[in-house]
Amino acid sequence: MTNLSNRVLNMKESVTLAASARAKALKAQGRDILSLTLGEPDFVTPKNIQDAAIEAIQNGKASFYTVASGLPELKDAINTYMENFYGYSVNRNQVVVATGAKYILYTFFTTVLNPGDEVIIPTPCWVSYVDQVKMVDGVPVTVATTEANDFKATVEQLEAARTDKTKVLLLNSPSNPTGMIYSREELEAIGNWAVEHNVLILADDIYGRLVYNGNEFTPISSISEAIRNQTVVVNGTSKTYAMTGWRVGFAVGNEEIISGMSKVISQTTSNLTAVSQYAAIEALTGPQDSIEDMRQAFEERLNTIYPLLCEVPGFEVIKPQGAFYLFPNVKKAMEMKGYTDVTAFTTAILEEAEVALVTGAGFGAPENVRLSYATDLDTLKEAVRRLKAFMEK
């Protein structure tokens, strides 16, 4: 007999958090583990943002509940951000703020899905999408993409996955875990397909400002008014502003959906922690130079580590365009070492090479592993050296 609901019994633990916990446990036993598991910048939150938060605490502004959907000043700051980076304006009723983009996504699914409604999710995809859809009795319909198509779904694939139950298409560009970015033309085709078939687009743009080597991020919602009306944008300050601990996520979209999401938030968490909201106002509207410094640091790491990773026997990797992950295909490497299961292979790397990676299995990619390069260059170089030594043994 279990006390747990079927909902929880059917849920998987986040593989990234599990991999990071396993690495930490081995470290605690004294093992010299290098962890490339977490999608978290290794920088501390910029000083101007910290100062704004301290000021809000000290002058008493952070002591109280705010409007459940977020401070009006923060919604205005998000509007400024949308004007600057998306090229269009929104009003306060089109914006909602919550505890991380992760909870924003969950709130969105709760708001729009009836039991049985389908969400098309191109894979490899971030670990939480599939389980979140299931948690609200929606049906995730995964569409597999591969290296052959730069891990991008085509309209033909989406159309093949569409049924009369299709309610949402989830699009994450730049992608976690692949780092690939959809081009304007690709987005236009996908957006028009969604409009034609009345499929909502959930655009997870959280890595939109972390793009490298001249690659550009186009928000799908900026392409046309018809596509924008069909799209809910998900974003947050975690990745761009080195603010994972502050838990600031937001959604921007049509008023009906945003007001539904606000209702869910008002009955669950109430407002995002007030101090984080004041920090976010400064993040979005204050000086942006430290953001560019961090972006450049990620770019340098990518450009240093990518050629080294390409030299690891059996690892085949497309150079990512954004986010901070490398997602090598290790099919050949597994064959060379006698593994058929990528999770077992990842465990062997952890045990023998003392490098913690995330198995591709949790992302819907049974031939890949994910390395996060949101860590310092020395650690990255040593980790790749160990991987090479492991493969050459």
Ligand X SMILES: Cc1ncc(COP(=O)(O)O)c(C=O)c1O
Restricting to residues 111-150, name those near ligand X by CB under 6 A: 126
Residue from 46, 100, 138, 364 touching ligand X (CB under 6 A): that is: 100
From the CB of 82, what's the least distance to ligand X, in Å? Answer: 17
Tell which one of 79, 145, 176, 321 touches ligand X (CB under 6 A).
Answer: 176
For 5, counting Cβ atoms within 10 Å of its Cβ (0-12 exposed, 13-18 middle, 19+ buried), the class is exposed
> Could you tell me the smallest distance in angstroms from the CB atom of residue 357 to ligand X?
16
Q: What is the CA radius of gyration of the chain?
A: 21
Report the distance separating Cα 70 and Cα 88, nearest Å: 20
Q: Does 101 bind ligand X (CB under 6 A)?
A: yes
108 binds ligand X (CB under 6 A): no
Enumerate residues 6+ apart whose C-beta is below 8 A from 153.
Answer: 122, 143, 145, 190
Q: Residue from 19, 20, 34, 39 that binds ligand X (CB under 6 A)?
A: 39
Collapsing DSSP to helix, strand or coil, 144 comes out as strand
Least separation, in Å, of the C-beta of 329 and ligand X?
Answer: 20
Nearer to ligand X, 141 or 272 (CB): 272
Cβ contacts of residue 340 below 8 Å, gap of 6+?
Answer: 334
Q: Which of 249, 320, 328, 360 binds ligand X (CB under 6 A)?
A: 249
Taking CB under 6 A as the criterion, the residue among 208, 236, 320, 322 binding ligand X is 236
**For ligand X, which is the closer residue by CB, 354 or 375?**
375
Q: Which of 120, 133, 169, 206 binds ligand X (CB under 6 A)?
A: 206
- 68 or 243: whose CB is closer to ligand X? 243
Identify whether the C-beta of residue 177 lies closer than 8 Å to the C-beta of residue 365: yes
What is the C-alpha to C-alpha distance for residues 66 and 85, in angstroms, rounded to an integer? 26
Cβ closest to ligand X, residue 100 vs residue 364 = 100
Tokens at 139, concatenated: 């049906």
Q: Based on the shown chain and the rule CB under 6 A, indicate whether residue 244 belongs to the binding site for ligand X.
A: yes
Q: Which of 373, 267, 260 is closest to 324 using CA atoms?
A: 373
What are the distances in angstroms from CA 70 to CA 34, 73, 197, 205? Answer: 38, 8, 32, 20
Question: Site residues (CB under 6 A) for ligand X?
Answer: 39, 100-102, 126, 172, 176, 204, 206, 236, 238, 244, 249
